[in-house]
Structure 1
Amino acid sequence: MENRIKSSLPYEKLFDYIKADTVVTEEDVKNEFIKKNNKADAKIIFFDPKKITVVQVSDEEIKKYYEEHKEDYKKDPAAKLKYVRLQLKPSEADKQITKAKIDSLYEVIKKGADFAELAKEYSQDPGSAKKGGSLGYFGRGRMVPPFEEKAFSMKIGEISEPIETRYGWHIIKVTGRRKNKKGEEEVEASHILLKPEPSEKTKENLAIIAEDLFEKAKKEGIEKAAEELGYKTEETREFYKNATYIPGLGRAPELVKFAFSKKTGAIHEPIQQKQGDYIIAEISEKLGEHYQPLEDVTQAIRRKLEKEKKVQQVIEQAQEFVGKFKPEDYLAEAKKEGWDIVEAKDITEDKYISKIGKIENLNKAILEKEENEYTELITSDKGAFIAFIEKRVKPDMEKFEKEKEKLLEEAQKNAENARLNEWYRELKEKAEIEDNRSMFYNF
């Protein structure tokens, strides 16, 4: 115990040092109390930009925006890979082995063996195997076509010969039939599923093919080598040096490191992925700092400019609305014109309002008003708003005086914990950590 206390003392001193400059004052706690307890209920007229259905954005406007905001589309150095994925799949011989197994099971069932017990022992459908193969009742459209067609053609108690679907080989037993509330036919069935699986020989053959493709690609390039051997070449989207995942390939830290340490055209030796597939990759393109081409960002810019135009139009319509009507008529007239009226309860300075979001100047304007008052027209990049205040709740400062010591203690503790977390984060950011997990683990 004494040693444990001694070993913990340096940590306590460090934490005390880090927390020493964290001071929460009574004024801080008071302001937070007011912020949380200053509330209002309101009906908010929402001049929603989505009500504007048509706006026009020209190609010239898109190009002008792109040129004026080109730095927004600047990208760090990136790379692309061309690759071939050699999928590990059961061979025809593997499939025949599975077919022989399912045929043997079928013969045993025909001789009177318990279907449910065999399903529990042999079926490779984890969801139904533990229930004796039971799939319950199902209607048409729930199962893959060959399975459904067979099940709906069978009588209660009948057991099918093995049938093949994309999942493998099935033996089906129909245990019930009925019509649901809509009058549609349903079948109750159980099944035993055996899935063809790649044998060791199939895995060895794939490894040999991967090595052959790699050797050929080193001489001819991956595209030509793949074409000659009858495989398809794909290309990733660009990715960056700090990437965790490569588009199309998933988690591949070894290939990320390769792409940024070798030259264009370099071929990586075959990498076996977790599911058994092999990847052979070539660095197809390396980009320094660069700008996304206009054609790649045109649609994003178009959407942005369309949204801005809709917001501007809806603000203009809201301004016309304010000019046409008296405040006491706002709610009724807004309803007539088809604008949304959002009812919000317990609005605070930080409250997220359903259907609207968190708009700081709207919340602030609401809390500056008293009951039965309207705010001015509030505008933002989400539209325009007028709020009618139905109820106001002011902070109970007597309650604050009674609870301030407890609140101060809690606030101090929270602030110290936040400071410690900030220190940890800063320490981690400054630390030079190299990720070498790929040397020890096959991700």
Structure 2
Amino acid sequence: MLDQLVKKQKVIIYIIAIAFILSIGAGGIFGGEKIIQALGGNYLGKVNGTKITPQQYNLKIQEIKERYEAQGQKIDESYMPYIQNTAWEELVNEILWQQQIKKHRIKVTEAEIKNAIENDIPQELLQNESLQTNGVFDKKKYFQALNNNPQFKLQMYEYMKTYLPRKKLQQKIMSEAGITLDSLKQEFIKENDKVYGKTIWFSYHKADSVYVSDAEIKKYYEEHKDTEFKKGPASRIKYITIPIQPSERDYNEVKLEIDEIYRMVNPENFPIIAEQYSEDESSAKQGGSLGVFGRGQMVPEFEKVAFSLKPGEISKPFKTDFGWHIVKCDSIINDQIKASHILLKVTTSDETKREFYEKAKQARKLIAKKGIDAAAKELNLEVITSDWLPHDQQQIPGIGQHGGLHQFMVKKKPGKVSDVFQLNIQGKPSYLIAQVVENRKFYYEDFNAKKLQIKYDLERQKKIALMKAKAEDFIKRVPKDKYFDVAAAEGWDIIELKGHKKDSRLPAPVNATLEEFDKAALALNTGQYSDIVNTKEGPFIIYAEKREKPDMQQFTKEKQEEIRKRLEEAAFNRWWQQIRKEAKIIDNRYKYGYY
């Protein structure tokens, strides 16, 4: 039993350690396996002045890799960017926790840790089969494991040493949330004030076409320019990318290997050779089989070769962006083919990476001298011009998250040229050089970019106005007891209300939360119809078939505590998200070849 527990415990502790953060919504180089060395006083980043060192980052990456591998996840090069970003986020959150624990003077004693180990047992351990008897947690087995296995006891001690201060901090923030008896009562009323029935929606989608002129669109833009379309601070940049991809030399080196395999393979031993040598793991397990596929399902180079073969034929080695292939045609079924293949992947060698980096450095010098447009033309590279990039958003469209590039565009003046940044663009490694075009404290969203949206909104408003007239005509000519029969015959949307509450989202096709609707619906008694209810989604008529109102006798102490816990947790979540939002985070990972 102990052996099984120890084997699983490291993974369990990892899961427990991050579960607390995840529950509140806190939420190396291209080879992936390379570990950078600490360089004196250098650091990868800072969180409110607290440094994150290369050693810390690499240890966290290794910890997360082990965590995922222990759960059966295969970690390859393509998965490493996710691992690296997860490691970064966890380190940032850990530092923020420590800073807040210190700020709020949270301390735990050895006695509290001991008591927590004995009594505050994590759910993951309560459900561990090794600690159960007849499917029920057995505390005797738990204490036996603690006493007989020092490693397990140490892991529990380290976990509680981290967990308890966080738990105390959470309790402190929750206790300061200002949840009163009145707020509990209001939440109880909100949860238990319900209407059952149905509603007619005079949908603007059913309105006749309306016309919105360019003059109306322009007028709306100008009148709402400062309220809707003023944004900032933000920057615009131009940039070029240089993909880091295998060279002809890299392909030629692997060509020697694929030629050796080609000399060994024949129709009879193809599955055995594929299983032994192919680097396409999913098909290798099936003897190289790709199953049945038709034209247009594979990359053109692969398809051309595969469909040129007769049943039983084996192709000569050929290359695609995935590497070198040997394909065998297993059979032809109408216009489809059943085929198998052997793949040897081609990776970018360190020598090739250095060559691309030198090319990128030369490109940077040329950009600094001539400007990015002239330099790109000379180098036959494409220049990409960004839209406005808000300074408060780390994600850059088309690029993703990159601390170095974000810091560059925020701090530098127009004309300045960035360092050579290494990053992954849509999963492909590249070097990027950027030049700042503009850097403003505020800007106005471009009229042409917003024109279609404004046109749609104005059309929508006009259609809703038409629907108001339709709704008014409807109630004038239709008796209340015929509302829904006539509405169905005329094609209006009828939506069932199944316990609709305040702040509930109306179901499809409305898919919206409407304050005016909620107010009108909850003002009805059983059997009542509403007047026309005008909302931002258009007019409604509501019928309350049944009203379910709060029974204050059910507002017991147990129910109050249940609601209090939920409201306090929500308050803590908001507090934590604000801490995360206001944190001053410097991300220098790009200097070490991460991303």
Interval containing the TM-score (normalised by the shorter chain): 0.7 to 0.9
Name the CA distance, whole Å, in 2 between partners of 1:141 and 1:240. Answer: 40
Calculate the TM-score normalised by the size of structure 2: 0.65
- The answer to whether structure 1 residue 131 and structure 2 residue 286 are counterparts is yes
Structure number with higher relative contact order (C-alpha < 8 Å, ≥ 6 residues apart):
1
Structure number, greater radius of gyration: 1
Name the CA distance, whole Å, in 2 between partners of 1:247 and 1:13. Answer: 37
Give a deviation string over 1:388-427, Cα, whole Å, max 9, x none.
Answer: 33344444556x16xx121122223334434444444555
Other structure's SS at 1:375 match: coil
8 Å contact 2:188–2:563 — kept in the other structure?
no
Other structure's SS at 1:277 match: strand
8 Å contact 2:177–2:568 — kept in the other structure?
no
- The answer to whether structure 1 residue 417 and structure 2 residue 569 are counterparts is yes
Other structure's SS at 2:209 match: coil
- The answer to whether structure 1 residue 352 and structure 2 residue 505 are counterparts is yes
What amino acid is the match of 2:482?
D
8 Å contact 2:267–2:313 — kept in the other structure?
no
1:269: Cα distance to partner? 2.8
Other structure's SS at 2:503 match: coil
- The answer to whether structure 1 residue 5 and structure 2 residue 112 are counterparts is yes
Other structure's SS at 2:265 match: helix
Question: Which has the larger displacement, 168-177 or 317-326?
Answer: 168-177
Name the CA distance, whole Å, in 2 between partners of 1:265 and 1:46. Answer: 55
1:15: Cα distance to partner? 4.4
With over 3 angstroms needed to count, the CA separation of the structure-2 counterparts of 1:257 and 1:103, relative to structure 1, is same
Please name the residue that 2:340 is paired with.
Answer: 190
What amino acid is the match of 2:252?
Q
Other structure's SS at 1:435 match: strand
Unpaired runs of 5+ in structure 2? 1-107, 114-160
Please name the residue that 1:54 is paired with.
Answer: 209
With over 3 angstroms needed to count, the CA separation of the structure-2 counterparts of 1:111 and 1:189, relative to structure 1, is closer
8 Å contact 2:187–2:563 — kept in the other structure?
no
1:21: Cα distance to partner? 6.8
Unpaired runs of 5+ in structure 1? 179-183
Aligned mate of 1:268, from 418, 421, 445? 418
With over 3 angstroms needed to count, the CA separation of the structure-2 counterparts of 1:224 and 1:412, relative to structure 1, is closer
Aligned mate of 2:265, from 106, 109, 114? 109
Count of equivalent residues: 432
Calculate the TM-score normalised by the size of structure 1: 0.84
8 Å contact 1:370–1:392 — kept in the other structure?
yes
1:150: Cα distance to partner? 4.6
Question: Which has the larger displacement, 56-65 or 155-164?
Answer: 155-164
What amino acid is the match of 1:267?
V
Aligned mate of 2:488, from 335, 348, 352? 335
With over 3 angstroms needed to count, the CA separation of the structure-2 counterparts of 1:189 and 1:217, relative to structure 1, is same
What amino acid is the match of 1:314?
M
- The answer to whether structure 1 residue 97 and structure 2 residue 260 are counterparts is no
Please name the residue that 1:66 is paired with.
Answer: 221
- The answer to whether structure 1 residue 373 and structure 2 residue 511 are counterparts is no
Give a deviation string over 1:46-89, Cα, whole Å, max 9, x none.
Answer: 11001124111112211221222111211223222222211122
Other structure's SS at 2:420 match: strand
With over 3 angstroms needed to count, the CA separation of the structure-2 counterparts of 1:32 and 1:245, relative to structure 1, is closer
Other structure's SS at 2:499 match: strand
Name the CA distance, whole Å, in 2 between partners of 1:237 and 1:303. Answer: 22
8 Å contact 1:78–1:239 — kept in the other structure?
yes
1:282: Cα distance to partner? 1.8
Name the CA distance, whole Å, in 2 between partners of 1:119 and 1:125. Answer: 9
Tell me the percent identity.
34
What amino acid is the match of 1:332?
D
1:380: Cα distance to partner? 0.5
Please name the residue that 1:259 is paired with.
Answer: 409
- The answer to whether structure 1 residue 407 and structure 2 residue 559 are counterparts is yes
Aligned mate of 1:171, from 326, 333, 338? 326
Name the CA distance, whole Å, in 1 between partners of 2:187 and 2:309. Answer: 70
Name the CA distance, whole Å, in 1 between partners of 2:498 and 2:340. Answer: 52
1:440: Cα distance to partner? 5.9
8 Å contact 1:176–1:187 — kept in the other structure?
yes
Other structure's SS at 2:419 match: strand
With over 3 angstroms needed to count, the CA separation of the structure-2 counterparts of 1:110 and 1:352, relative to structure 1, is same
Name the CA distance, whole Å, in 1 between partners of 2:176 and 2:406. Answer: 43
Q: How does 1:292-311 map to 2 (within 5 A)?
A: 292-311=445-464
Other structure's SS at 2:562 match: helix
Other structure's SS at 2:378 match: helix
With over 3 angstroms needed to count, the CA separation of the structure-2 counterparts of 1:423 and 1:331, relative to structure 1, is closer
8 Å contact 1:29–1:407 — kept in the other structure?
no
Please name the residue that 2:52 is paired with.
Answer: none
Name the CA distance, whole Å, in 2 between partners of 1:17 and 1:233. Answer: 50
Name the CA distance, whole Å, in 2 between partners of 1:223 and 1:59. Answer: 34
Please name the residue that 1:181 is paired with.
Answer: none
